[in-house]
Chains A and B, each alone.
Chain A
């Protein structure tokens, strides 16, 4: 355990302290204590920047379960550090914002900050672990803490619904991912990502490679809200706004992006990867932005916008995989896609975080988030308005903000797809730039809706719960910092490029860096009259046009019937699944013992007969059979007659007597086969049990004492005959295949020598194997005590009386 390990675990340890701090220092907002930790962690992680900049990595191992190959390996490279800085940096800002957002008297702050710290530690663990199982563990911690945070206001029905939905979907993905990891382990023999990357060439030839790829991608897609798993994200907006800003825009939803980027060196050589990641990403971009326009809730817009932007990053990572196939080129133009992905990742975290905080402020100060009620807030909230404009314009991809740069690079990556001649990208690859462009137009539209419907237009004070005014300064600090970052990164993108982006890209495409391809050249290169610039101009023009005509074409959203939306498919699927499971259970769990006996005996017959047939196990060997005497035949006939009488007797009394007859006949068998002790016991026990049966019969209620034959049921007859046949066949087979001699000769020789007795049965019972006898005595004791207590203990009757 080094300092790095403690740094990753510190949020968990700190979370233990939070409730005590909350109880002990009531007058001080708990958030102030919490704020210290992410700030300290941020400054701790920032000192790694020079190390990763030089292309070095840090790897610290703490043993956890070495015998299983599971160790807590903290691993810092460019990608991990980028995420760690995002998590701690935006984490600090979110904690600061939450101090002003959450009321210290009305809210249960200790719960909130415990969940939040748990989440922060889990995220750090995800991005800084080199061991897949440890990564998975932290991954599920993020799912759980996200569940807790979404359901923070647990008294609201919508919060619980959203929390459950996100839990189901992300845990489904998480478990698939675990499956993928285990397959990787089976192929590569290690859980370490580093070592798996080193042998990625061998992994590709394995039959398990494609299943592992798909399972890992399922995990990434569900976490990062890719189509069709994006449906949980809009419902997760029921969480408090700091949570939405932190989890559902900047960090958790990027865990899937991180996973894709991290596993790229393992999987990216196949065309399947490029098509799945790129294809799902680009469609999610389009679908998210298309649906964002129809939302009326500000957070709803931002949720779908997040979905769409995540799709953008995902598609870039997919297309960036093409770089691996063009290693022969000196100037590797396809790496620009990966570069754009990392750059946009940072940009999105900044502007989406600030936008969520803006929406939180609006909600806080006006009491609503519905854009139909809002309008004309510009004059009331000038600072908030400014931040919103910066964030939204950056999101729309307008210069001079950072969104513009990454959108240009995004277009570059997508246009370059057309130049590829692999994996049939030259034919249907045209969809990439087209969907990218259409998606960007919609992005532009909803960004404009977000700003102008809220801040301009007519002020409607009668619809608002509160009188709007500017937010307190403390609430504005975090969005202002993020918005200024948006501008700084927009004007000076190169302060990021060498320090952060280049090491991250190097981590995603390690094989190319080893061959000495230059990454830096692309980052500074962002000027010129390229087709991308004209695409952006087209986006702006069409965006403005469509925004103006919005009421005219809004109807297209009602084209998709409600029944076919993904949400209703999910809801209907849950309801139908529950109903199907319920009716299935109700169908076979009838509550009647007779039907359970039917299942048990049918399976008994089917399984035993099948195995007998499948193994060819049935044999008859007549060599060792003893001759049959006339007495045996006579007694056997007697037994058959009394058994048949039990079945076909009209009255129960006859059946009881026939049962007694059968028992006595069995004792005659014991006599004939020379087992005097058995015969004695059998006689006594049979007498007692017949007496007990008679007792039961005597106390039957008058109504059910009617004399009636047992009804004939074909099903029961077949099953009983089947059981009889199976048992007979098995008895014959097992008698015919005696493999070893009996051990009874030892008893015969030693019964007097060793044990000092002449009755061998009794010596076995109390001496050779007396242990069994002890517990059979125990059984009898339990039975008698049970009978006594059943007769004497009448709790229900006493209650009635």
Chain B
């Protein structure tokens, strides 16, 4: 029973991934794409969590955490790049 539910959930998450990928490709602006990528990362978290339920292990919890951090960092870096034109600023005193 639980297995079927997980499979259905996985299918749904995958479909939402497809929609997000469409947004990444289509655009039209860069912030659209960045937000879509961020959401894809979160969806990946969901997928990893569901898969680890299927294969019945705790080993991938750290992957979930890592994905969360990476998605956050990536989005912040992109936002900063869009805002200021560079990610790591040279003048540290400011």
Residues of A within 8 A of B (CB): 631, 634, 657, 664, 667-668, 671-672, 674, 676, 679-680, 683-684, 687, 691
Cβ of B4 within 8 Å of any chain A Cβ, yes or no, is no
Q: Is the CB of A676 within 8 A of B70?
A: no
What are 13 pairs between A and B in contact, CB < 8 Å? A657-B24, A667-B63, A668-B44, A668-B48, A671-B48, A671-B51, A671-B52, A671-B63, A672-B51, A674-B59, A683-B67, A683-B70, A687-B73
Q: Known A-B contacts: A668-B48, A671-B48, A672-B55. Give 18 more (CB < 8 A).
A: A631-B10, A631-B51, A631-B54, A657-B24, A668-B44, A671-B51, A671-B60, A671-B63, A672-B51, A674-B55, A676-B62, A680-B62, A683-B66, A684-B66, A684-B70, A687-B70, A687-B74, A691-B77
Q: Is the CB of A680 within 8 A of B66?
A: yes
Encode contact with A along B21-53: 1 for CB under 8 Å, 0 otherwise. 000100000000000000000001001100110
Residues of A within 8 A of B74 (CB): 687
Given A634-B14, A687-B74, A691-B77, also A674-B57 (CB < 8 A): yes
Residues of A within 8 A of B10 (CB): 631
Q: Is the CB of B47 within 8 A of A676?
A: no
Residues of B within 8 A of A683 (CB): 63, 66-67, 70
* CB nearest neighbor in A for B33: A657
Q: Is the CB of B60 within 8 A of A676?
A: yes
Q: How far is B74's CA from A448's CA once the two chains are assembled, in angstroms?
A: 101
* CB nearest neighbor in A for B65: A680
Q: How far is B74's CA from A683's CA once the two chains are assembled, in angstroms?
A: 12
The 5 residue pairs across chains A and B that have the minimum distance between CB atoms: A676-B59, A679-B63, A687-B70, A676-B60, A671-B48
Return A469 CB to nearest CB of chain B, in Å: 90
Q: How far is B59's CA from A671's CA once the two chains are assembled, in angstroms?
A: 9
Residues of A within 8 A of B67 (CB): 683
Q: How far is B6's CA from A759's CA once the two chains are assembled, in angstroms?
A: 28
Residues of A within 8 A of B73 (CB): 687
Residues of B within 8 A of A691 (CB): 77
Return B16 CB to nearest CB of chain A, in Å: 14
* CB nearest neighbor in A for B14: A634
Residues of A within 8 A of B62 (CB): 676, 680
Residues of B within 8 A of A657 (CB): 24
Return B9 CB to nearest CB of chain A, in Å: 13
* CB nearest neighbor in B for A688: B70
Q: How far is B77's CA from A667's CA once the two chains are assembled, in angstroms?
A: 22
Residues of A within 8 A of B52 (CB): 671
Looking at chain A's contact residues, the main secondary structure is helix
Q: How far is B57's CA from A674's CA once the two chains are assembled, in angstroms?
A: 9
* CB nearest neighbor in B for A683: B66
Partner of A664, one of B14, B44, B54: B44
Q: How far is B45's CA from A667's CA once the two chains are assembled, in angstroms?
A: 12
Return A131 CB to nearest CB of chain B, in Å: 72
Residues of B within 8 A of A667 (CB): 63
Q: How far is B80's CA from A413's CA once the two chains are assembled, in angstroms?
A: 104
Return B79 CB to nearest CB of chain A, in Å: 14
Q: How far is B47's CA from A672's CA once the two chains are assembled, in angstroms?
A: 10
Residues of A within 8 A of B60 (CB): 671, 676, 679
Residues of A within 8 A of B24 (CB): 657
Return B13 CB to nearest CB of chain A, in Å: 11
Residues of A within 8 A of B54 (CB): 631
* CB nearest neighbor in A for B48: A671
Return B82 CB to nearest CB of chain A, in Å: 12
Q: How far is B63's CA from A679's CA once the two chains are assembled, in angstroms?
A: 7
Q: How far is B47's CA from A684's CA once the two chains are assembled, in angstroms?
A: 18
**CB interface residues, B 57-90, toward A, < 8 Å:** 57, 59-60, 62-63, 66-67, 70, 73-74, 77
* CB nearest neighbor in B for A660: B37
Q: How far is B47's CA from A683's CA once the two chains are assembled, in angstroms?
A: 14
Return A634 CB to nearest CB of chain B, in Å: 7
Return B85 CB to nearest CB of chain A, in Å: 10
* CB nearest neighbor in A for B70: A687
Q: How far is B55's CA from A695's CA once the two chains are assembled, in angstroms?
A: 38
* CB nearest neighbor in A for B24: A657
Residues of A within 8 A of B77 (CB): 691
* CB nearest neighbor in A for B59: A676
* CB nearest neighbor in B for A642: B21
Residues of A within 8 A of B44 (CB): 664, 668
Return B39 CB to nearest CB of chain A, in Å: 14
Q: How far is B77's CA from A691's CA once the two chains are assembled, in angstroms?
A: 10
Q: How far is B54's CA from A664's CA once the two chains are assembled, in angstroms?
A: 20
Q: Is the CB of B63 within 8 A of A680?
A: yes
Return A505 CB to nearest CB of chain B, in Å: 94
Q: How far is B73's CA from A687's CA once the two chains are assembled, in angstroms?
A: 10
Residues of A within 8 A of B51 (CB): 631, 671-672
Q: How far is B64's CA from A683's CA once the two chains are assembled, in angstroms?
A: 11
* CB nearest neighbor in A for B21: A661
Residues of A within 8 A of B63 (CB): 667, 671, 676, 679-680, 683
Return A769 CB to nearest CB of chain B, in Å: 21
* CB nearest neighbor in A for B71: A687
Residues of B within 8 A of A671 (CB): 48, 51-52, 60, 63
Residues of A within 8 A of B14 (CB): 634
Return B33 CB to nearest CB of chain A, in Å: 9
Q: How far is B60's CA from A668's CA once the two chains are assembled, in angstroms?
A: 11
* CB nearest neighbor in B for A672: B51
